[in-house]
Amino acid sequence: MRRLLLGLGLFFSVGPTVRPSDAQDTSAIDRGVRIGIVYRPGVRPGLVVLPGRPAALDSVRAILTRDLDYTDRFEVITLPAGDSLRVGAVALGTAPPARGAPGRQRSGGAQAAGPNYPLYLALGADFVVDLRAAGDTTVVDVHDVAAGALRRTFRARLPAPGGAGFRMTVHRLADQVLLATLGAPGMAATRVGFVKDGKVYVIDQDGADLRLVSSTDRQAMSPAWAPDARRLAYMEFWQGHGQLFVQDIGSGERTAAATTGRALDFTPAFSPDGKTLAFSRATEEGTDVYTVNIKDNCCLQRLTVGRFSDNLSPTFSPDGQRIAFVSTRSGLPQIYVMAADGTDQQLFAPFDYGVTGASNAPEWSPDGQSVAFHRDVAGTLQVFVLDVRTRTVRQLTSVGRNEDPTWAPDSRHLAFVSDRSGYRQLWIIDLDTGRIRPLLQQSGSRLPAWSPRLPETAATNP
Protein backbone atom coordinates (compact mmCIF):
# COMPACT_ATOMS: atom_id res chain seq x y z
CA MET A 1 0.00 0.00 0.00
CA ARG A 2 1.21 3.42 -0.81
CA ARG A 3 2.12 5.58 2.09
CA LEU A 4 0.96 8.91 0.98
CA LEU A 5 3.94 11.15 1.62
CA LEU A 6 6.66 8.55 1.38
CA GLY A 7 5.14 7.35 -1.85
CA LEU A 8 5.17 10.78 -3.38
CA GLY A 9 8.81 11.17 -2.42
CA LEU A 10 9.70 7.91 -4.08
CA PHE A 11 7.92 8.76 -7.27
CA PHE A 12 9.96 11.82 -7.81
CA SER A 13 13.30 10.61 -6.50
CA VAL A 14 13.55 7.39 -8.45
CA GLY A 15 14.45 7.45 -12.12
CA PRO A 16 12.28 6.88 -15.18
CA THR A 17 9.29 4.72 -14.62
CA VAL A 18 8.67 1.57 -16.55
CA ARG A 19 5.62 1.24 -18.72
CA PRO A 20 3.29 -1.25 -17.10
CA SER A 21 3.29 -3.51 -20.12
CA ASP A 22 7.06 -3.79 -19.87
CA ALA A 23 6.92 -4.56 -16.20
CA GLN A 24 8.81 -7.70 -15.47
CA ASP A 25 9.76 -9.80 -12.58
CA THR A 26 11.90 -7.11 -11.02
CA SER A 27 10.73 -7.17 -7.46
CA ALA A 28 12.47 -10.30 -6.29
CA ILE A 29 12.94 -9.02 -2.79
CA ASP A 30 9.44 -7.63 -2.76
CA ARG A 31 7.55 -9.84 -0.37
CA GLY A 32 4.23 -8.27 -1.10
CA VAL A 33 5.46 -4.81 -0.21
CA ARG A 34 5.20 -2.64 -3.24
CA ILE A 35 8.31 -0.56 -3.67
CA GLY A 36 6.48 1.88 -5.87
CA ILE A 37 9.13 2.50 -8.48
CA VAL A 38 7.48 0.81 -11.42
CA TYR A 39 4.30 2.82 -11.36
CA ARG A 40 3.63 6.10 -12.98
CA PRO A 41 1.72 8.32 -10.61
CA GLY A 42 -1.74 9.00 -11.83
CA VAL A 43 -2.01 5.91 -13.98
CA ARG A 44 -4.13 4.05 -11.48
CA PRO A 45 -7.10 5.57 -9.72
CA GLY A 46 -6.71 6.32 -6.04
CA LEU A 47 -9.04 4.70 -3.56
CA VAL A 48 -9.71 5.26 0.12
CA VAL A 49 -11.50 2.81 2.37
CA LEU A 50 -12.87 4.77 5.31
CA PRO A 51 -12.73 3.28 8.80
CA GLY A 52 -15.78 1.19 9.49
CA ARG A 53 -18.54 2.25 11.83
CA PRO A 54 -18.87 0.68 14.29
CA ALA A 55 -15.39 -0.65 15.01
CA ALA A 56 -16.75 -4.19 14.67
CA LEU A 57 -16.42 -3.62 10.94
CA ASP A 58 -12.64 -3.21 11.25
CA SER A 59 -11.98 -6.78 10.14
CA VAL A 60 -14.35 -6.30 7.20
CA ARG A 61 -12.48 -3.15 6.27
CA ALA A 62 -9.13 -4.91 6.56
CA ILE A 63 -10.18 -7.77 4.28
CA LEU A 64 -11.91 -5.43 1.82
CA THR A 65 -8.95 -3.07 1.66
CA ARG A 66 -6.51 -5.88 1.09
CA ASP A 67 -8.68 -7.38 -1.65
CA LEU A 68 -8.85 -4.04 -3.42
CA ASP A 69 -5.11 -3.61 -3.06
CA TYR A 70 -4.52 -7.11 -4.45
CA THR A 71 -6.45 -6.22 -7.60
CA ASP A 72 -3.42 -4.07 -8.49
CA ARG A 73 -5.83 -1.67 -10.18
CA PHE A 74 -5.91 1.05 -7.52
CA GLU A 75 -3.54 3.19 -5.56
CA VAL A 76 -4.98 2.31 -2.19
CA ILE A 77 -4.40 5.36 -0.08
CA THR A 78 -3.68 4.89 3.59
CA LEU A 79 -5.03 7.73 5.62
CA PRO A 80 -2.61 9.44 7.96
CA ALA A 81 -3.38 8.60 11.55
CA GLY A 82 -5.00 11.94 12.44
CA ASP A 83 -8.68 12.24 13.25
CA SER A 84 -9.26 15.13 10.90
CA LEU A 85 -9.70 12.94 7.86
CA ARG A 86 -12.11 10.65 9.59
CA VAL A 87 -14.36 13.46 10.51
CA GLY A 88 -15.76 13.73 7.04
CA ALA A 89 -16.76 10.12 7.27
CA VAL A 90 -18.29 10.48 10.68
CA ALA A 91 -20.53 13.19 9.37
CA LEU A 92 -21.75 10.86 6.70
CA GLY A 93 -24.69 8.60 7.30
CA THR A 94 -26.98 8.19 10.21
CA ALA A 95 -24.67 7.25 13.06
CA PRO A 96 -24.65 9.73 15.94
CA PRO A 97 -21.50 11.87 16.23
CA ALA A 98 -18.80 10.15 18.20
CA ARG A 99 -18.35 11.55 21.67
CA GLY A 100 -14.72 10.57 21.90
CA ALA A 101 -13.34 13.13 19.48
CA PRO A 102 -14.50 16.51 20.63
CA GLY A 103 -13.38 19.66 18.92
CA ARG A 104 -12.44 18.18 15.56
CA GLN A 105 -15.68 16.79 14.34
CA ARG A 106 -17.25 20.10 13.52
CA SER A 107 -14.98 20.57 10.51
CA GLY A 108 -16.84 18.04 8.37
CA GLY A 109 -20.18 18.39 9.97
CA ALA A 110 -21.49 20.79 7.43
CA GLN A 111 -21.97 18.20 4.71
CA ALA A 112 -24.25 15.54 6.03
CA ALA A 113 -24.99 14.21 2.54
CA GLY A 114 -21.56 12.77 1.71
CA PRO A 115 -17.88 12.66 2.41
CA ASN A 116 -15.64 15.65 2.06
CA TYR A 117 -15.05 15.22 -1.67
CA PRO A 118 -12.64 18.13 -2.10
CA LEU A 119 -10.48 16.73 0.67
CA TYR A 120 -10.26 13.26 -0.95
CA LEU A 121 -9.70 14.84 -4.32
CA ALA A 122 -6.73 16.64 -2.80
CA LEU A 123 -5.45 13.33 -1.46
CA GLY A 124 -5.53 11.84 -4.95
CA ALA A 125 -8.53 9.63 -4.34
CA ASP A 126 -10.91 8.90 -7.18
CA PHE A 127 -13.09 6.63 -5.10
CA VAL A 128 -14.12 6.50 -1.47
CA VAL A 129 -15.49 3.30 0.04
CA ASP A 130 -17.49 3.67 3.21
CA LEU A 131 -18.62 0.83 5.46
CA ARG A 132 -21.43 1.01 7.96
CA ALA A 133 -23.78 -1.26 9.81
CA ALA A 134 -27.56 -1.00 9.45
CA GLY A 135 -29.15 -3.51 11.76
CA ASP A 136 -27.72 -6.90 10.86
CA THR A 137 -26.77 -5.70 7.40
CA THR A 138 -23.44 -4.30 6.34
CA VAL A 139 -23.76 -1.42 3.91
CA VAL A 140 -20.98 -0.47 1.50
CA ASP A 141 -21.21 2.95 -0.17
CA VAL A 142 -18.97 3.61 -3.15
CA HIS A 143 -18.44 7.31 -3.82
CA ASP A 144 -17.13 8.80 -7.04
CA VAL A 145 -14.97 11.67 -5.83
CA ALA A 146 -14.58 13.46 -9.16
CA ALA A 147 -18.33 13.42 -9.73
CA GLY A 148 -18.89 14.32 -6.10
CA ALA A 149 -21.63 11.74 -5.80
CA LEU A 150 -22.54 8.36 -4.42
CA ARG A 151 -22.08 5.82 -7.20
CA ARG A 152 -23.34 2.54 -5.79
CA THR A 153 -24.50 1.00 -2.52
CA PHE A 154 -24.15 -2.68 -1.68
CA ARG A 155 -25.72 -4.53 1.20
CA ALA A 156 -24.71 -7.88 2.58
CA ARG A 157 -25.66 -9.86 5.66
CA LEU A 158 -22.32 -10.99 6.95
CA PRO A 159 -21.95 -14.22 8.89
CA ALA A 160 -20.23 -13.74 12.25
CA PRO A 161 -16.51 -13.01 11.84
CA GLY A 162 -14.66 -16.32 11.83
CA GLY A 163 -17.87 -18.13 10.91
CA ALA A 164 -18.36 -20.13 7.75
CA GLY A 165 -18.55 -17.92 4.71
CA PHE A 166 -17.66 -14.67 6.48
CA ARG A 167 -14.48 -13.96 4.57
CA MET A 168 -15.92 -15.11 1.25
CA THR A 169 -18.89 -12.77 1.67
CA VAL A 170 -16.51 -9.87 2.23
CA HIS A 171 -14.47 -10.96 -0.82
CA ARG A 172 -17.66 -10.85 -2.83
CA LEU A 173 -18.24 -7.25 -1.69
CA ALA A 174 -14.72 -6.40 -2.88
CA ASP A 175 -15.51 -7.84 -6.32
CA GLN A 176 -18.69 -5.75 -6.39
CA VAL A 177 -16.76 -2.60 -5.52
CA LEU A 178 -14.29 -3.28 -8.32
CA LEU A 179 -17.11 -3.83 -10.80
CA ALA A 180 -18.87 -0.64 -9.64
CA THR A 181 -15.75 1.54 -9.84
CA LEU A 182 -13.78 0.29 -12.84
CA GLY A 183 -16.25 -2.07 -14.47
CA ALA A 184 -13.64 -4.84 -14.21
CA PRO A 185 -14.26 -8.40 -13.07
CA GLY A 186 -12.61 -9.19 -9.78
CA MET A 187 -10.86 -12.19 -8.34
CA ALA A 188 -11.41 -11.72 -4.61
CA ALA A 189 -14.07 -14.41 -4.17
CA THR A 190 -11.83 -17.20 -5.43
CA ARG A 191 -9.71 -20.01 -4.08
CA VAL A 192 -6.54 -21.70 -5.21
CA GLY A 193 -6.15 -25.45 -5.19
CA PHE A 194 -2.65 -26.91 -4.93
CA VAL A 195 -0.64 -29.98 -3.94
CA LYS A 196 1.57 -30.33 -0.91
CA ASP A 197 3.08 -33.59 0.40
CA GLY A 198 0.94 -35.57 -2.03
CA LYS A 199 -2.34 -34.04 -0.83
CA VAL A 200 -4.69 -31.59 -2.54
CA TYR A 201 -5.54 -28.43 -0.57
CA VAL A 202 -7.49 -25.27 -1.28
CA ILE A 203 -6.81 -21.82 0.13
CA ASP A 204 -8.53 -18.44 -0.34
CA GLN A 205 -6.72 -16.16 -2.80
CA ASP A 206 -5.66 -13.90 0.07
CA GLY A 207 -3.91 -16.77 1.82
CA ALA A 208 -6.59 -17.48 4.44
CA ASP A 209 -8.68 -20.56 5.19
CA LEU A 210 -6.43 -23.47 4.21
CA ARG A 211 -8.35 -26.75 3.80
CA LEU A 212 -7.52 -30.32 2.92
CA VAL A 213 -9.42 -31.76 -0.06
CA SER A 214 -7.99 -35.21 -0.79
CA SER A 215 -8.09 -37.11 2.45
CA THR A 216 -6.87 -40.57 1.46
CA ASP A 217 -3.38 -41.94 2.05
CA ARG A 218 -2.72 -42.10 -1.66
CA GLN A 219 -0.53 -39.54 -3.37
CA ALA A 220 -2.52 -36.96 -5.34
CA MET A 221 -1.56 -34.58 -8.16
CA SER A 222 -2.82 -32.02 -10.64
CA PRO A 223 -5.96 -30.39 -9.19
CA ALA A 224 -8.23 -28.66 -11.73
CA TRP A 225 -11.40 -26.63 -11.06
CA ALA A 226 -14.78 -27.23 -12.59
CA PRO A 227 -16.29 -24.05 -14.07
CA ASP A 228 -18.86 -24.02 -11.24
CA ALA A 229 -16.00 -23.58 -8.73
CA ARG A 230 -17.65 -26.21 -6.55
CA ARG A 231 -15.80 -29.28 -7.77
CA LEU A 232 -12.14 -30.17 -8.18
CA ALA A 233 -10.77 -32.89 -10.42
CA TYR A 234 -7.44 -34.43 -9.49
CA MET A 235 -5.39 -37.57 -9.97
CA GLU A 236 -4.46 -40.16 -7.38
CA PHE A 237 -1.84 -42.91 -7.62
CA TRP A 238 -3.38 -46.32 -7.11
CA GLN A 239 -1.74 -49.73 -7.24
CA GLY A 240 -0.33 -49.75 -10.72
CA HIS A 241 -2.38 -46.94 -12.24
CA GLY A 242 -3.42 -43.33 -11.92
CA GLN A 243 -7.08 -42.66 -11.16
CA LEU A 244 -8.95 -39.41 -11.82
CA PHE A 245 -11.54 -38.18 -9.35
CA VAL A 246 -14.05 -35.34 -9.36
CA GLN A 247 -14.74 -34.16 -5.83
CA ASP A 248 -17.41 -31.82 -4.50
CA ILE A 249 -15.59 -29.35 -2.26
CA GLY A 250 -18.58 -28.74 -0.05
CA SER A 251 -19.70 -32.28 0.67
CA GLY A 252 -16.37 -34.02 0.13
CA GLU A 253 -18.07 -36.64 -2.03
CA ARG A 254 -16.09 -37.80 -4.99
CA THR A 255 -16.59 -39.97 -8.04
CA ALA A 256 -14.02 -41.74 -10.18
CA ALA A 257 -13.78 -40.64 -13.80
CA ALA A 258 -12.70 -42.63 -16.85
CA THR A 259 -11.86 -45.72 -14.80
CA THR A 260 -9.79 -48.44 -16.42
CA GLY A 261 -7.96 -49.88 -13.45
CA ARG A 262 -4.86 -50.03 -15.63
CA ALA A 263 -3.93 -46.79 -17.32
CA LEU A 264 -2.15 -43.84 -15.76
CA ASP A 265 -4.60 -40.93 -16.18
CA PHE A 266 -3.40 -37.46 -15.19
CA THR A 267 -3.67 -33.68 -15.80
CA PRO A 268 -7.48 -33.41 -15.89
CA ALA A 269 -9.04 -30.23 -17.34
CA PHE A 270 -12.72 -29.32 -17.45
CA SER A 271 -14.41 -28.04 -20.57
CA PRO A 272 -16.04 -24.62 -20.06
CA ASP A 273 -19.52 -26.20 -19.96
CA GLY A 274 -18.34 -28.57 -17.24
CA LYS A 275 -19.57 -31.66 -19.08
CA THR A 276 -16.28 -32.92 -20.46
CA LEU A 277 -13.01 -33.78 -18.80
CA ALA A 278 -9.90 -33.75 -20.97
CA PHE A 279 -6.90 -35.56 -19.57
CA SER A 280 -3.63 -37.33 -20.36
CA ARG A 281 -3.53 -41.11 -20.44
CA ALA A 282 -0.21 -42.95 -20.30
CA THR A 283 -0.17 -46.50 -21.67
CA GLU A 284 2.53 -48.66 -23.23
CA GLU A 285 1.84 -46.85 -26.47
CA GLY A 286 2.88 -43.59 -24.85
CA THR A 287 0.89 -40.68 -23.47
CA ASP A 288 -2.07 -39.17 -25.33
CA VAL A 289 -4.87 -36.68 -24.77
CA TYR A 290 -8.37 -38.07 -24.25
CA THR A 291 -11.76 -36.62 -23.39
CA VAL A 292 -14.59 -38.24 -21.46
CA ASN A 293 -18.14 -37.09 -20.80
CA ILE A 294 -18.26 -36.91 -17.01
CA LYS A 295 -21.88 -35.90 -16.88
CA ASP A 296 -23.02 -39.24 -18.31
CA ASN A 297 -19.72 -41.06 -17.63
CA CYS A 298 -19.42 -42.14 -21.23
CA CYS A 299 -18.02 -41.44 -24.62
CA LEU A 300 -14.29 -41.77 -24.13
CA GLN A 301 -12.56 -40.16 -27.08
CA ARG A 302 -8.90 -40.24 -28.00
CA LEU A 303 -7.75 -36.92 -29.46
CA THR A 304 -4.08 -37.57 -30.20
CA VAL A 305 -2.21 -40.60 -31.53
CA GLY A 306 1.37 -40.06 -30.48
CA ARG A 307 3.02 -43.41 -31.26
CA PHE A 308 6.59 -42.21 -30.83
CA SER A 309 5.75 -38.95 -29.10
CA ASP A 310 3.86 -37.98 -25.96
CA ASN A 311 0.84 -35.65 -25.85
CA LEU A 312 -0.35 -34.34 -22.51
CA SER A 313 -1.55 -31.47 -20.30
CA PRO A 314 -4.69 -30.37 -22.20
CA THR A 315 -6.34 -27.00 -21.47
CA PHE A 316 -9.57 -25.75 -23.07
CA SER A 317 -10.06 -22.35 -24.64
CA PRO A 318 -12.87 -20.53 -22.80
CA ASP A 319 -15.22 -20.97 -25.79
CA GLY A 320 -14.62 -24.72 -25.60
CA GLN A 321 -13.64 -24.88 -29.28
CA ARG A 322 -9.93 -25.54 -28.91
CA ILE A 323 -7.49 -27.38 -26.67
CA ALA A 324 -3.90 -26.35 -26.09
CA PHE A 325 -1.60 -29.18 -25.04
CA VAL A 326 2.00 -30.32 -24.77
CA SER A 327 3.54 -32.57 -27.41
CA THR A 328 7.00 -34.06 -27.88
CA ARG A 329 6.42 -34.60 -31.60
CA SER A 330 9.32 -32.32 -32.50
CA GLY A 331 11.64 -33.66 -29.84
CA LEU A 332 11.40 -31.59 -26.70
CA PRO A 333 7.95 -30.92 -25.28
CA GLN A 334 6.39 -27.76 -26.77
CA ILE A 335 2.95 -26.10 -26.76
CA TYR A 336 0.51 -27.17 -29.51
CA VAL A 337 -3.16 -26.50 -30.19
CA MET A 338 -5.99 -28.50 -31.77
CA ALA A 339 -9.73 -28.32 -32.25
CA ALA A 340 -11.66 -29.80 -29.35
CA ASP A 341 -12.38 -32.92 -31.44
CA GLY A 342 -8.67 -33.53 -32.02
CA THR A 343 -8.45 -32.24 -35.59
CA ASP A 344 -6.27 -29.45 -36.95
CA GLN A 345 -3.28 -30.02 -34.66
CA GLN A 346 -0.60 -27.39 -35.01
CA LEU A 347 2.20 -25.64 -33.17
CA PHE A 348 0.94 -22.90 -30.85
CA ALA A 349 3.87 -21.30 -29.03
CA PRO A 350 6.73 -20.69 -31.48
CA PHE A 351 10.20 -21.99 -30.63
CA ASP A 352 13.63 -22.23 -32.20
CA TYR A 353 14.43 -25.84 -32.92
CA GLY A 354 17.51 -26.93 -31.02
CA VAL A 355 17.67 -23.67 -29.09
CA THR A 356 14.45 -23.22 -27.15
CA GLY A 357 14.09 -25.36 -24.05
CA ALA A 358 11.26 -27.69 -23.13
CA SER A 359 7.86 -26.00 -22.67
CA ASN A 360 5.18 -27.44 -20.42
CA ALA A 361 2.11 -26.90 -18.26
CA PRO A 362 -0.05 -24.64 -20.51
CA GLU A 363 -3.18 -22.97 -19.17
CA TRP A 364 -5.54 -20.94 -21.34
CA SER A 365 -6.59 -17.62 -19.82
CA PRO A 366 -10.28 -17.09 -18.95
CA ASP A 367 -10.50 -14.20 -21.45
CA GLY A 368 -9.13 -16.47 -24.17
CA GLN A 369 -6.37 -14.10 -25.22
CA SER A 370 -3.36 -15.79 -23.65
CA VAL A 371 -1.86 -19.13 -22.73
CA ALA A 372 0.53 -19.21 -19.79
CA PHE A 373 3.14 -21.98 -19.59
CA HIS A 374 6.64 -22.59 -18.35
CA ARG A 375 9.77 -23.10 -20.41
CA ASP A 376 13.27 -24.33 -19.67
CA VAL A 377 15.64 -21.37 -19.87
CA ALA A 378 19.31 -22.09 -19.19
CA GLY A 379 18.55 -25.15 -17.10
CA THR A 380 15.78 -23.67 -14.99
CA LEU A 381 12.10 -22.99 -15.58
CA GLN A 382 10.49 -19.60 -16.26
CA VAL A 383 6.89 -18.53 -16.74
CA PHE A 384 5.93 -17.38 -20.26
CA VAL A 385 2.75 -16.02 -21.76
CA LEU A 386 1.66 -16.70 -25.34
CA ASP A 387 -0.47 -14.08 -27.07
CA VAL A 388 -3.05 -16.21 -28.86
CA ARG A 389 -3.80 -13.68 -31.60
CA THR A 390 -0.23 -12.77 -32.59
CA ARG A 391 1.33 -16.07 -31.49
CA THR A 392 4.18 -14.30 -29.81
CA VAL A 393 5.57 -15.23 -26.42
CA ARG A 394 7.02 -13.13 -23.67
CA GLN A 395 8.96 -14.21 -20.63
CA LEU A 396 7.38 -13.10 -17.39
CA THR A 397 9.79 -14.25 -14.70
CA SER A 398 13.55 -14.33 -14.43
CA VAL A 399 14.39 -14.82 -10.76
CA GLY A 400 14.87 -18.41 -9.58
CA ARG A 401 12.84 -21.33 -10.88
CA ASN A 402 9.23 -20.45 -11.75
CA GLU A 403 6.68 -22.98 -12.98
CA ASP A 404 3.08 -24.18 -13.31
CA PRO A 405 1.28 -20.86 -13.85
CA THR A 406 -2.50 -20.69 -13.35
CA TRP A 407 -4.80 -17.80 -14.27
CA ALA A 408 -6.97 -15.80 -11.94
CA PRO A 409 -10.47 -15.23 -13.35
CA ASP A 410 -9.50 -11.61 -14.09
CA SER A 411 -7.00 -12.95 -16.72
CA ARG A 412 -4.47 -10.52 -15.32
CA HIS A 413 -2.99 -12.33 -12.34
CA LEU A 414 -1.16 -15.64 -12.33
CA ALA A 415 -0.36 -17.90 -9.41
CA PHE A 416 2.77 -19.99 -9.89
CA VAL A 417 5.44 -21.93 -8.05
CA SER A 418 8.75 -20.25 -7.37
CA ASP A 419 11.86 -20.99 -5.33
CA ARG A 420 12.93 -17.33 -5.35
CA SER A 421 12.72 -17.19 -1.57
CA GLY A 422 14.94 -20.25 -1.19
CA TYR A 423 12.26 -22.90 -1.23
CA ARG A 424 9.36 -23.77 -3.50
CA GLN A 425 6.18 -21.93 -2.59
CA LEU A 426 3.18 -20.28 -4.27
CA TRP A 427 3.36 -16.70 -5.55
CA ILE A 428 1.01 -14.38 -7.41
CA ILE A 429 2.14 -11.99 -10.13
CA ASP A 430 0.20 -9.14 -11.72
CA LEU A 431 0.96 -9.12 -15.44
CA ASP A 432 0.30 -5.40 -15.85
CA THR A 433 2.47 -4.07 -13.06
CA GLY A 434 4.84 -6.96 -12.42
CA ARG A 435 3.99 -6.83 -8.73
CA ILE A 436 4.60 -10.12 -6.99
CA ARG A 437 3.29 -11.35 -3.65
CA PRO A 438 3.52 -14.69 -1.87
CA LEU A 439 0.24 -16.58 -1.68
CA LEU A 440 1.34 -19.21 0.79
CA GLN A 441 4.61 -19.36 2.65
CA GLN A 442 4.72 -23.11 3.01
CA SER A 443 7.59 -25.03 1.52
CA GLY A 444 6.76 -27.68 -1.05
CA SER A 445 3.45 -26.23 -2.28
CA ARG A 446 3.06 -26.78 -6.01
CA LEU A 447 0.75 -27.41 -8.99
CA PRO A 448 -1.62 -24.52 -8.20
CA ALA A 449 -5.05 -24.20 -9.86
CA TRP A 450 -6.94 -20.92 -9.50
CA SER A 451 -10.70 -21.27 -9.23
CA PRO A 452 -13.33 -19.32 -11.14
CA ARG A 453 -15.30 -16.83 -9.04
CA LEU A 454 -17.22 -18.76 -6.42
CA PRO A 455 -20.99 -18.90 -6.78
CA GLU A 456 -23.07 -17.27 -4.06
CA THR A 457 -24.10 -20.50 -2.39
CA ALA A 458 -20.58 -21.85 -2.34
CA ALA A 459 -19.48 -18.70 -0.56
CA THR A 460 -22.06 -18.76 2.17
CA ASN A 461 -22.25 -22.51 2.51
CA PRO A 462 -18.81 -23.82 1.78
Partner 1 sequence: MKRLSLLALAIVAGAVTAAACGGPKPQPQAPTPQANPDSAAAAERARQDSIDAANRAASEAEAERVRRQREADSLAALGRSTEEVRGMVAAMIHFDYDKSVLRGDDIGTLDQKVAVLQANPDLRLRISGHCDERGSDEYNLALGNRRATAAKQYLVSHGIDAGRIETISYGEERPLAQGHDEGAWAQNRRDEFEIIGGGDVLRRP
Residues making contact with partner 1 (CB under 8 A): 198, 219, 221-222, 237, 240-242, 262, 264, 266-267, 280, 282-284, 286-287, 310, 312-313, 326, 328, 333, 358, 360-361, 374, 381, 403-404, 446-447
Beta sheet of 211-212, edge-to-edge order: 211-212, 199-204, 191-196, 446-450
User: What's 12's DSSP letter?
Assistant: H
Q: CB of 461: closest distance to partner 1 in angstroms?
A: 33
User: Given strand 359-364, what is the order of strands in its sheet?
Assistant: 359-364, 370-377, 380-387, 392-395
Nearest residue (CB) to partner 1, 11 versus 237 = 237
Q: Tell me whether residue 232 or residue 312 sits nearer to partner 1 (CB atom).
A: 312
Whether residue 130 contacts residue 107, with contact meaning beta carbons closer than 8 Å, is answered with no
| Least CB distance to partner 1 at residue 403 (A) | 7
Nearest distance, CB of residue 222 and partner 1, angstroms = 6
Least gap, CB of 305 to partner 1 (angstroms): 15
For the residues of 62-76, what is the DSSP string, one character each?
A: HHHHHHHHHTTSSEE
Closest distance between partner 1 and the C-beta of residue 333, in Å?
6
Could you tell me which of 444, 371, 445 has the C-alpha nearest to residue 407?
Answer: 371
69: left (phi over 0), alpha (psi -120 to 50) or beta: alpha
CB 219 → partner 1: shortest distance, Å?
Answer: 6
CB of 236: closest distance to partner 1 in angstroms?
A: 11
Closer Cβ to partner 1, 286 or 368, answer by number: 286
Choose between 140 and 232: whose C-beta lies nearer to partner 1: 232
Angle at 306 between CA 305 and CA 308, to 5 degrees: 145
Residue nearer to partner 1 on the CB measure, 9 or 331: 331
Could you tell me if 115 and 88 are in contact, meaning their C-beta atoms sit under 8 angstroms apart? yes
Secondary structure (DSSP) of 284-346: TTEEEEEEEETTTTEEEEE----TTS-EEEEEE-TTSSEEEEEE-TTSS-EEEEEETTS-S-E
Nearest to 363 by CA among 310, 309, 323: 323
CB closer to partner 1 out of 219 and 398? 219
For partner 1, the closer CB: 155 or 262: 262
Question: Closest separation between CB of residue 301 and partner 1, Å?
Answer: 19
Tell me how far apart the alpha carbons of residues 403 and 381 are, in angstroms, rounded to a whole number.
Answer: 6
Q: Which is nearer to partner 1, 250 or 261 (CB)?
A: 261
